[in-house]
Structure 1
Amino acid sequence: MEFSLLGPISVATGSGELALGPAKRRSVLALLLLQPNTTVPLEQLIDSLWEDEPPEHARTVVQGHVSRLRATLAEGGADAYGIELTTHGSAYLLRLPEELIDAHRFGELVALARPEAAPADAVPLLREALGLWRGPALTGTVTSPPFAAAAHALEERKLTAVEALARAHGALGEHEQAAAILYSAAVAHPLREGLIAALMRALFRTGRQSDALEWFHRTRRLLNEELGVDPGERLSGAYEEILRAEAADGRRSAAGSGARGQGRTGADPRAAAGRVPAQGGAVPAGKPGAEAATAAGGTRETSGRTGAAPRLLPRPPARFLGRGNQLASLTDALSDRTTGESPLAVVAGPAGVGKTACAVQWAHLHAADFPDGQLFADLRGFGEGDEAPPAEILRDFLLALGTPPERVPGSAQAASALFRSLVADRRLLVVLDNARGSAQVRPLLPGGPHCATVVTSRSRLDGLVATDCARPVGLQALGHEEGAALLGAMLGPERVAEDPAAARELVALCDGLPLALRAAAAQLTARPRWRLARLAAALRDERRRLALLSAEDSGIAAALRMSVARLSADDARLLSALATSADGHLNASVAAALAGYDPERTQDGLDRLAEMHLVDEEATDVYTISTLTQLFARDESGEAEPGSGAGGGD
């Protein structure tokens, strides 16, 4: 006879599982199994079974459940296993060998495993322990706080075992296995910082640096959005450890190159490796150039090919298609060396149009042109939390470039000066994603003529164009052919080819936005029997469209919400008024009439909405608002019909 707590509550015998009855009876058994060979007071059982005030006949109900459990166990042959359920006054005792309880066997196996001292022995022990789990702990019990707490405690023990198994694999050099084990647990527990930190280290040791850093930034955003806190010491420590390791690898590579060069030229190996003695102390504010680098104890760079070569780009975007003109425009803008300045391009467009994907795709295509490294940062300009302060991003950059943590300046001004001096002679690419405004970007710009910077934003960032000669690269929605090609890449060309008319309709219903099209493809991937026409029919219902165009943690509604959240109250009201337009086409006079604003106030508001790509100015005094933006603005203003935002079913 075996008792299971690590999944659905059950009792297994040689002839099958015993019929335990309703949830409260299973809950009585679970509570007795959680405290085996110990008397459990009747009052504790009552308090655990009823979350609210228990009924007057609660004692009778519990006594009835205990009586039925006793009979069920006896029918299953409990006596042969030394199992007895007895009454002791107003308490109950379940006497049994504890090894018959899966949670007890799990604990013993975990205790025997020594992942660091004896990893080869620990792996089979921990795998056997985790193999006892058949689902969420205490499944089938009532949903009261005592059972929730007990289930949580068991789940914590499981996660501890998962982390121990990953450490054992890591000690054996099996980092791929460690990453695979940690990945599933991290997806299920995205706010468990120690787990994410372990996953980051495992990914880094498999050579997947960009994936490791992506997990950090994803978790940092979740912590900020869900809990309003910053990463703790374990998560931040793993992040800085990875950045320092990358920098050290770069320095070792450079030193090796220098040593080989010395063999040919007789040069001083220290100079060839770009190393000079450290000078202690922090960078004084306003101390620019190489002088600032020396003051911070950094490396005085004399060649763009010396020092660390960080590779912080996210992985290339999956199924990236098209955008040939925009990629060519970026190449033209960032390859221009005629001015002697560090070239700068701004990729701007509406929410969901694929700005980040375009910038990252270009960066990967041209990474070889920047052998001294590629830096990437999410500036969080359009997120639920606060935007990233320049000092935070500069700290990450300086750590990646090999600056010891204790010598990173505390002020953004000093850190910016040190950053510019370190990269002055390097061939370095900087990608600044999701910027809110020009002021957030300027301290992060490198000054060296061999560096290049790509910024993405939903705003046009006219300030960077005016003061820093940024080259704008606009991104528009995909046309019918490009949108259908993206669907084909996501779903398989055969599925799209069988109904090209429906594919074109889907592109139109998604306003040609890649984010919306990818969400639509996710819906169809999850429903392989659906034809494209069936999803198109569902999307025609404007009350359901935004909900259907969402996929777990991403969706067009969430993206638009972040844009609208950055508007002033006046501009948000203007957008809501524009959403009532019948066809989405209007001029300033019509907009003023809809909003009840005077012409000057309306024109200023339209200009700001156009700068944020919430409306498009197609020609002088001709504005359009996309259908998805209209639907979102109507929902936000409370004008949607009941049922808006409800998720679609099968």
Structure 2
Amino acid sequence: MEFSLLGPIAVTTGSAELSLGPAKRRSVLALLLLQPNTTVPLEQLIDSLWEEEPPEHARTVVQGHVSRLRATLAEGGAEAYGIELATHGSAYLLRLPEELIDAHRFGELVALARPEAAPVDAVPLLREALGLWRGPALTGTVTSPPFAAAAHALEERRLTAVEALGRAHGALGEHEQAAAILYSAAVNHPLREGLIAGLMRALFHTGRQSDALEWFHRTRRLLNEELGVDPGERLRGAYEDILRAEAAGGGRTGAARPAGGAGGPSGGTSSGGSRSGASGDGSSATGTGARPVDGATRAPVQGSADRDEARGDADTPDTDGTRQGTPAGGRGGSGSGRTGAPPRLLPRPPARFLGREDQLAALTTVLTDGTTGESPLAVVAGPAGVGKTACAVQWAHLYAGSFPDGQLFADLRGFGEGDEAPPAEILGDFLLALGTPPERVPSSAQAASALFRSLVAERRLLVVLDNARSSAQVRPLLPGGPHCATVVTSRSRLDGLVATDWARPVGLQTLGHEEGAALLGAMLGPDRVAEDPAAARELVDLCDGLPLALRAAAAQLTARPRWRLARLAAALRDERRRLALLSAEDTGIAAALRMSVARLSADDARLLSALATSADGHLNASLAAALAGYDPERTQDGLDRLTEMHLVDEEATDVYTISTLTQLFARDERGEGGESDTGGTGDGS
């Protein structure tokens, strides 16, 4: 059930809208919604409903409207939503979760947006907030002064959000968008000086200096004719800045942008989130002492007020000295602050985890580096079955104490059965885990990503994103706060994240003989391995040193306690049976490889099959081209993609190897290798 104040007064449940009756009944509901969870005296309702002297039977009329509203809400299932319209003596109380009121959600989204400090996040937040409006506020209520004043206050907050959206686009250098957004609002509110000033700056940056100056002179005339006043400081400041910039040769080139403007072309920030604000000293690039042309005088200080804003539990000062907060009667909390226990979404620690000291140390170096002022990001990459998930989860458990505000985990299903997980789905889970009420989780991935970054901006949080297919799948899920850290696992190198988000790669290789035998010993008991060390070494070779394959082999031996290691090694020498034996119920090396090959193009899959016919798994580009029947350029491009996916290794320049297990899988045209369908990859993917 949702209540609408930002447009016609309405109550919807599911896809149906409840019938609310005449204007006075809608007005009673509106006044109660403007003061939710607060007792509203009967006399206040009467004074608001009748502009003239109320009739003698006014009390009876109001009581009748309340009674009908109570019945209508009950018919719509109000109790299931925690909604109650109660009578307290000669007053009424509408008890409900405030998140069900569109005006409350609007206020929270606006409060989370930081146009100058984080414009990349502010744009979707503000767009979603403004998207809640369906027309003039409180449409359908009586035309009395109290309702006119309430509608005017809501409209002021809408215009403040429009101005903030214009500033956010301006901070990103998107001045055309800023001008388009501000223009229609300026036409409808020609005396709102802050709005006109923002439009002037946006027009100037698009090269329309004459239009910008014309808006100033038009507004100056209107102010003088209608109000008898001169332009205020904001409007004069925009005018003077444009004149200075023109004299200095500024304009569309952006020479008059504030130094270090947040998120702009000179801000030095990536598309993943802006951390830098304006210069803070009030100077512009046009010369010392001039105000910045795009109106961002300084970025908010990254202190307690910023942290409160990120949590949505504080009013936020706007640049004109007003304050944006929750609607009248709101409680002031976003419902998604640090209430309750921090989320602990990590899977259980991997069983019998051994070794990987170098990789764990590398993760520690990357993820605990606090010197950059950025959110550290590591990519654990390697072939299917090498234990990427286990390594990432092990590190996350070891260092969970360094992230007291929680640990988030998500399987992105990049190399699993079915479709990969869409970012909106993962972000929804994260926001719920962080305490966001379900009805306040944005439906669009862009808005959900912005809300997620805003909520965690000042937290010490660890995010583990497992089984990613591409950099594009990961980017919306990255936190932006400098105290957050992210670990991504993938079979792909995710070079895009390295390029755009300064991700640090942590490569995972197969196990050597000693490490592989130690894993078998941990699974089977050291005595069973010690009685035949040669067979243990052979098992490591037959499993290509892959932890997933070795664990499957250990499962076979655990189920057959009388078997010696040599017996299983003899069985695995039969290449027709090897892949089938290296599977255990819902996990296995063939299933893992199947998911990798399924993500290849048809050309690359054919190239992999051709490489599998190599006698010893060692070849160069010329031999690969001959085997596949491709031209050299096509072959080299295919080898590069297979290497990126860790289906082929490039040991040295133009020296490629393909593992025995990958060869066995690729030789089978159907990709079965003697094994029935076994499903996903499990923790060893």
Q: Which has the higher contact order (CA 8 A, sep 6+)?
A: 2
Alpha-carbon shift at residue 628 of structure 1 (Å): 0.1
Indicate the residue corresponding to 2:117 in structure 1.
Answer: 117
Change (3 A) 1:372 1:2: closer
Separation in structure 2 between the aligned mates of residue 113 and residue 138 of structure 1, nearest angstrom:
25
CA distance in 1, matches of 2:635, 2:585: 37
Shift of 1:353: 0.1
Conservation of the 8 A alpha-carbon contact between 1:390 and 1:444: yes
54-63 or 571-580: bigger deviation: 54-63
Q: Structure 2: how far apart are the matches of 1:83 and 1:290?
A: 32
CA apart distance, 1:569? 0.1
CA separation of 1:450/1:538 partners in 2, compared to 1, >3 Å: closer, same or farther? same
Deviation (angstroms), 1:518: 0.1
User: Per the alignment, in what secondary structure is the counterpart of residue 226 of structure 2?
Assistant: helix
- Please state whether the residue corresponding to 2:281 is helix, strand or coil: helix
Q: In the alignment, which of 225, 249, 254 is matched to residue 271 of structure 2?
A: 254
Cα distance change of structure 1 residues 169 and 260 upon mapping to structure 2, 3 Å threshold? closer
1:77-226 alignment to 2 at 5 Å? none
Higher mean alpha-carbon deviation, 161-170 vs 387-396, is at 161-170
Deviates more, 1:336-345 or 1:144-153: 144-153
Aligned partners of 1:247 and 1:400 also within 8 Å: no
Runs of 4+ aligned residues of structure 1 deviating over 4 Å after TM superposition are: 1-248, 250-263, 265-282, 289-298, 303-308, 636-643, 645-650
Is this contact kept in 2: 1:578–1:595, CA < 8 A? yes
1:462–1:242: structure 2 CA closer, same or farther, 3 Å change rule? farther
**1:384: how far off?**
1.4
Displacement, 1:508? 0.2
Could you tell me how far apart the structure 2 residues matched to 1:612 and 1:77 are?
53
Distance 1:413 1:525 in 2: 48
Please give the alpha-carbon distance, in whole angstroms, between the structure 2 residues aligned to 1:88 and 1:294. Answer: 25
In 2, Cα distance between equivalents of 1:297 and 1:91? 16
Secondary structure at 1:272 match in 2: coil
Q: Deviations over 1:186-220 (max 9, x none)?
A: 99999999999999999999999999999999999
Query: How far apart, CA to CA, are the structure 1 residues paired with 2:37 and 2:459?
Result: 70
- Work out the CA distance in 1 between the residues paired with 2:210 and 2:534: 39
Shift of 1:277: 21
| 2:513 and 2:540 in contact (8 A); partners too | yes
- Cα deviation 1:25-72 (Å, max 9, x = unaligned): 999999999999999999999999999999999999999999999999
Q: List per-residue Cα deviations over 1:328-357 (Å, max 9, x = no partner).
A: 000001011211100000000000000000
* Cα distance change, pair 619–193 in 1 and its aligned pair in 2 (3 A): farther
Q: Counterparts of 2:466 and 2:447 in 1: how far apart (Å)?
A: 23
**Residues 445 and 6 of structure 1, relative CA distance in 2, 3 Å threshold:** closer
Instruction: Mark the CA change 1:173 to 1:619 in structure 2 (over 3 Å): closer, same or farther.
Output: closer
Determine helix, strand or coil for the equivalent of 2:8.
coil
Q: Structure 1 residues 363-372 or 34-43, which shifts more?
A: 34-43
Task: Tell whether the 8 Å contact from 1:9 to 1:26 is kept in structure 2 after alignment.
Answer: yes
For the residues of structure 1 that align with 2:153 and 2:542, how far apart are their CA atoms? 47
Higher mean displacement: 604-613 or 137-146: 137-146
Cα deviations by residue, 1:55-104 (Å, 9 ceiling, x for unpaired): 99999999999999999999999999999999999999999999999999
Distance 1:91 1:205, change over 3 A: same
Going from structure 1 to structure 2, the CA distance change for 1:19 and 1:475 (only over 3 Å counts) comes to: same
Query: Shift of residue 292 of structure 1?
Result: 12
**Whole-angstrom CA distance in 2 between matches of 1:318 and 1:393:** 26
User: Aligned with 1:453: secondary structure?
Assistant: strand
1:356–1:290 CA distance, 2 compared to 1 (3 A)? farther
Q: Hey, which of these two has a bigger chunk of helix by percent?
A: 1
Q: Is the 8 A contact 1:547 1:646 kept in 2?
A: no
Rounded Cα–Cα distance in structure 2 between residues aligned with 1:78 and 1:351: 51
- Conservation of the 8 A alpha-carbon contact between 2:588 and 2:678: no
Distance 1:21 1:461 in 2: 58
- Over 3 Å counting, the alpha-carbon distance change for 1:241 and 1:551 in structure 2 is farther
- In structure 2, do the counterparts of structure 1 residues 196 and 578 end up closer, same or farther at CA, with 3 Å as the change threshold? farther
Contact 1:305 1:426 in 2 (8 A): no
TM-superposed deviation, 1:617: 0.3
CA-based RMSD of the aligned residues comes to 23.1
Partner SS state of residue 647, structure 2: coil
Deviation of 1:550 (Å):
0.1
Instruction: Determine helix, strand or coil for the equivalent of 1:87.
Output: strand
Q: Deviation per CA, 1:582-639, whole angstroms, max 9, x where unpaired?
A: 0000000000000000000000000000000000000000000000000000116999
| C-alpha contact 1:382 1:435 (8 A) present in aligned 2 | yes
Tell me, yes or no, if the aligned pair for 1:293 and 1:418 is still in contact at 8 Å: no
TM-aligned CA distance change 1:357 to 1:124, over 3 Å: closer
3-state secondary structure, aligned to 1:372? coil
Answer yes or no: is the 8 Å Cα contact 1:262–1:272 preserved in 2: no
Q: Summarize deviations over 1:297-348 as a string: whole Å, max 9, x none.
A: 99xxxx9977651000000000000000000000001011211100000000
Structure-2 change in CA distance of 1:402 and 1:28 (3 Å): closer
Instruction: Name the SS for the 2:85 alignment partner.
Output: strand
Equivalent residues of 2:381, 2:505 under 8 A apart: yes
Contact 1:26 1:141 in 2 (8 A): yes
Q: 1:441 to 1:146 in 2, by over 3 A?
A: same
**Contact 1:290–1:422 under 8 Å retained in 2:** no
- Check the 8 A contact 2:166/2:181 in 1, yes or no: yes
Structure 2: distance between partners of 1:68 and 1:592: 80
Instruction: Give secondary structure in 2 for the equivalent of 1:125.
Output: helix
Compared with structure 1, are the counterparts of its residues 153 and 315 closer, same or farther at alpha carbon in structure 2 (3 Å cutoff)?
farther
| Shift in CA distance, 648/276, structure 1 to aligned 2, threshold 3 Å | closer
Change (3 A) 1:649 1:297: closer
Aligned pairs, number = 637
Aligned pairs for 1:158-557 within 5 A = 308-557=341-590
Aligned in 2, Cα 1:610/1:176: closer, same or farther, shift over 3 Å? closer
Q: Aligned in 2, Cα 1:414/1:324: closer, same or farther, shift over 3 Å?
A: same
Q: Gaps (5+ residues) in structure 1?
A: 283-288
Contact 2:116 2:168 in 1 (8 A): yes
Partner secondary structure for residue 254 of structure 1:
coil
The alpha-carbon distance between structure 1 residues 58 and 181, as it changes in their structure 2 partners (threshold 3 A), is same
Q: Which residue of 2 aligns with 1:637?
A: 673
The C-alpha deviation readout for 1:520-557, integer Å capped at 9, x for no partner, is 00000000000000000000000000000000000000
Change (3 A) 1:630 1:132: farther
Cα deviations by residue, 1:483-503 (Å, 9 ceiling, x for unpaired): 000000000000000000000
Secondary structure at the aligned position of 1:371 is classed as: coil
- Could you say which residue in structure 2 is the equivalent of 1:621? 654
State how far apart, in whole Å, the 2-side matches of 1:267 and 1:495 are.
Answer: 79
Give SS of 1:226's match.
Answer: helix
Closer, same or farther: CA 22–364 of 1 in aligned 2, 3 Å: same
1:573 alignment partner, SS class = helix
Alpha carbons 2:387, 2:683 under 8 Å: kept: no
Return closer, same or farther for 1:337/1:159 CA change in 2, 3 Å cut-off: closer
**CA distance in 2 between partners of 1:229 and 1:532 (Å):** 94
Structure 1 residues 180 and 387: CA distance shift in structure 2, 3 A: farther
Query: Are 2:32 and 2:94, in contact at CA under 8 Å, matched by a contact in 1?
Result: yes
Q: Flag structure 2 segments of 5+ consecutive residues without an equivalent.
A: 249-266, 283-287, 306-320, 331-335
Kindly indicate whether the alpha-carbon contact (under 8 Å) linking 1:280 and 1:296 is maintained by their aligned counterparts in 2: no
* Cα distance in 1 between the residues matched to 2:357 and 2:566: 29
Return closer, same or farther for 1:365/1:44 CA change in 2, 3 Å cut-off.
Answer: closer
Whether the 8 Å contact between 1:544 and 1:647 is mirrored in structure 2 is no
Q: Tell me the SS of whatever aligns to 2:109.
A: helix
Q: How big is each residue's C-alpha offset from its partner over 1:429-456, in whole Å with a ceiling of 9 and x where there is no partner? A: 0000000000000000000000000000
Distance 1:589 1:415, change over 3 A: same
Do the aligned partners of 1:334 and 1:453 also contact (CA within 8 Å) in 2? yes
Deviations 1:240-261 (A, max 9, x none): 999999999x999999999999
Q: Is the 8 A contact 1:23 1:142 kept in 2?
A: yes
* C-alpha contact (below 8 Å) 2:42/2:91 kept by paired residues: yes
The CA deviation string for residues 149-194 of structure 1, in whole angstroms up to 9 with x for no partner, is: 9999999999999999999999999999999999999999999999
Task: Using the aligned pairs only, state the percent identity.
Answer: 90
Alpha-carbon spacing, 1:150–1:169, altered in 2? closer, same or farther (3 Å): same
Deviating more after overlay: 271-280 vs 134-143? 134-143
